[in-house]
Amino acid sequence: MSKLTIPEGYKPLIDPLDTEQGIKQIKDFFQSNLSTALRLRRVTAPLFVLRGLGLNDDLNGVERPVSFPIKDMNEQVAEVVHSLAKWKRVMLAEYNIQPGYGLYTDMNAVRGDEELDNLHSLYVDQWDWERTINPEDRNLGFLKEIVCSIYSAIRRTEYLVCEHFRQLKPFLPEKIHFIHSEELLQLYPDLSPKEREDAICRTYGAVFIMGIGGRLSNGEPHDLRAPDYDDWTTVNADGYKGLNGDIMIWYPVLGRAVELSSMGIRVDIEALNRQLELTGKQERRQLYFHKKLLGGELPLSIGGGIGQSRLCMVLLQKAHIGEIQASIWPDSMRRECKEAGMPLI
């Protein structure tokens, strides 16, 4: 069932036409800043990949990809991508991109099993990026450096938008706070993971929660992660497991934490084998992507995704992602949103 939050007294600060102008301004400016900060070059990405290659992102392992048979290829089945987490790493090898440089692309996806609400749509658009690294870069300090670069690009974009639309006031803090998901659990042992995210983001404004995917001391992961892209089992410099995480901010319009990016240092051969064993997915070793990785044909990398519509929603201070992008919504949600002054595109 879909869920909807209607902020009390909500009124859009920008009309629909100016909103469209703001969306273009944000997308143009942010991707240019991201490219410069991380030394990324733009590449073209697929909307779908062939089933059975191990290239599609499995997300939490339960979401069904949109798929269709290809008449001119003996009915082979193609799947609309969930994300490009693994495809990008293959392209780093294909383009022979050296350490310190990387690529980014516009990822468009359809997630039919998404639970629709203010932040989640059937249509997903994000900047997917990946950068080649050296073995010595697989550490917590390097991860934090990249996170700070991305967060700085977000804040520069916020400044630009607020200068252009003076009715918008900046709200992001100057610095982003780092915390491991186990530390977060110890701080708020009686709260659920989402409640813990709200609590820490309300306190600091912007937080990078690390170590997502591995089991914590309560026997549960903070959130689920596929076993074959982010490294969530390697012990980091603080003695906790995980070289990945989520960039989250406190969003005053909705009064809750909002994830803007999921990212991390990617698995090496050792971490991939370990995480496949932990999740009982050893059979994936026979897939195209996994064979290339285990055969040493793919570079070490760091990468992630940054939601385009979600970033625009936050920086333009909208209450629903449907005010930013055109998608399909339940009639009841459209009606409620219209009555609440937030008509969906």
Condensed to tens digits (0 to 9), the pLDDT of residues 129-152 reads 999 999 999 999 999 999 999 999
Residues above pLDDT 90, as percent of the chain = 82
Please check whether residue 1 lies inside any domain of the structure: no
* CB environment 163-173: b (16+ within 10 A), e (fewer): eebeebeebbe
Q: Looking at the 3D structure of the chain, how many domains does it have?
A: 1
Whether the per-residue pLDDT at 112 is higher than 90: the answer is: no
Q: Is the pLDDT of residue 37 over 70?
A: yes
* Residues facing residue 104 across a β-bridge: 42, 129
Count H helices and E strands in the chain, helices first: 9, 11
Assess whether pLDDT exceeds 70 at residue 1.
no
How far apart are alpha carbons 143 and 137 in whole angstroms? 8
Domain limits for position 51: 16-339
Q: Which residue has the higher pLDDT, 322 or 1?
A: 322
What whole-number distance in Å separates Cα of residue 61 and Cα of residue 194? 20
Q: For the segment 204-230, what is each residue's pLDDT rounded down to a tens digit?
A: 999 999 999 999 999 999 999 999 999
Cβ 21 vs Cβ 333: under 8 Å: no
CATH number at residue 236: 3.30.930.10
Q: What is the mean pLDDT of residues 97-104?
A: 98
Helix axes 16-38, 140-164, angle to 10 degrees: 150
Q: Average pLDDT, stretch 82-95?
A: 92
Q: Please report whether residue 6 resides in a domain.
A: no
- Would 309 be classed as within a structural domain? yes
Residue 122 lies in a domain: yes
Asked whether 266 and 231 are in contact (CB, 8 A), the reply is yes
Each residue's pLDDT tens digit, 269-321: 999 999 999 999 999 999 999 999 999 999 999 999 999 999 999 999 999 99
Which two three-digit tokens encode residue 328? 């399909």
Structure token pair of residue 335: 């009606």
> H-helix or E-strand containing 101?
none
CA distance 176 to 166: 25
- 10 located within any domain: no
Say if 199 falls within a structural domain.
yes
User: Bigger pLDDT: 108 or 131?
Assistant: 131
Let me know if residue 3 belongs to a domain: no
Residue 174 burial (C-beta neighbours within 10 Å; 0-12, 13-18, 19+): exposed
Q: State the pLDDT at residue 61.
A: 63
Are the C-beta atoms of residues 178 and 148 closer than 8 Å to each other? no
Whether 2 shows a pLDDT value over 70: the answer reads no
Q: Which residues are catalytic?
A: 57, 111, 126, 246, 259, 262
Please say if the pLDDT value at position 56 is more than 90.
no
With respect to residue 9, please indicate whether it lies within any of the assigned structural domains: no
